[in-house]
Amino acid sequence: MWHNSENKGIFMSRNEETINYLKTRRSVPLPFLQEPAPTSAELEEILTIGTRVPDHGKIVPWRLISYSGDARVKIGEKLAALALKRNPDMDEDAIKAEKKQFLPAPVTIGVISKTSEHFKVSELEQILSAGAVALNLVHGANALGFGAHWVTRWFAYDDEAAKMLGASEGEQFVAFVHIGTASRRLEERDRPDLKEVVSEWVG
């Protein structure tokens, strides 16, 4: 599959397994992600795959934060408190849901976009590279046999919540990629009709 004589990793031939994976890949929503977690070696592999992305100008305009173990419960408490501050009328069920924002997935990777002025690379291109990291983390998790779910939710856009989760001034979460063992497989969902989204330029 790989032409590796000069370690260039050039994709040489059709790979049915990869094609099938890419044509059938589906997210596994957070409630269906459970233990066992990736081992630390597996997580490092997922992170290595995740951070191997196009990056115009080699700026590395992103960074990652991992959340696991007791941190997930602590985060849930803090998010629930913040949500209640934002909306004092929240009912018990809604508060419970906030407490489970990082559960039951055993590990979550937060992807932070950190853009800077660049003479050639626009802010948009830098943000897109962070998005590529998020999707590659999903692919990496899937490739190692785990399910993954890319979400942002309200706390990606709430300054106080984002700070609590580790973002600094000027940084923006573009993803929380929850990773774990899938407890169920999802049905297919509708996909865009190629005829609707692809056209040929005719001048």
Please report whether residue 152 would count as binding ligand FMN according to CB under 6 A: yes
Using CB under 6 A, which of the segments 3-11, 68-76, 82-90, 146-154 binds ligand FMN? 146-154
Q: Are 183 and 33 in contact (CB under 8 A)?
A: yes
Cβ-based neighbour number of residue 84 at 10 Å: 14
Nearer to ligand FMN, 68 or 150 (CB): 150
Using CB under 6 A, which of the segments 6-14, 103-111, 150-158, 193-201 binds ligand FMN? 150-158
Using CB under 6 A, which of the segments 48-56, 79-87, 147-155, 165-173 binds ligand FMN? 147-155
Using CB under 6 A, which of the segments 36-44, 79-87, 101-109, 144-152 binds ligand FMN? 144-152
* Cα angle 60-22-13, degrees, rounded to a multiple of 5: 90
Among 189, 193, 200, 202, contact with ligand FMN (rule: CB under 6 A): 189
Q: Are 149 and 177 in contact (CB under 8 A)?
A: yes
Please report whether residue 172 would count as binding ligand FMN according to CB under 6 A: no
Longest dimension (CA), the chain: 64
Residue 26: burial class (beta carbons within 10 Å; 0-12, 13-18, 19+): middle
- Shortest reach from residue 119's CB to ligand FMN, in Å: 28
Please report whether residue 128 would count as binding ligand FMN according to CB under 6 A: no
Number of residues in contact with ligand FMN under rule CB under 6 A: 8
Nearer to ligand FMN, 26 or 118 (CB): 26
Q: Are 148 and 109 in contact (CB under 8 A)?
A: no
What own/partner pairs with CB < 8 Å and gap ≥ 24 does 132-136 have?
132/53, 132/54, 133/50, 133/51, 133/53, 133/62, 133/64, 133/175, 134/50, 134/174, 134/175, 134/177, 136/49, 136/50, 136/51, 136/52, 136/53
- Shortest reach from residue 97's CB to ligand FMN, in Å: 12
Please report whether residue 151 would count as binding ligand FMN according to CB under 6 A: yes
Residue nearest to ligand FMN as judged by C-beta position: 27
Instruction: Report d(CA 127, CA 133) in Å as an integer.
Output: 10
Please report whether residue 150 would count as binding ligand FMN according to CB under 6 A: yes
> Site residues (CB under 6 A) for ligand FMN?
26-27, 149-153, 189
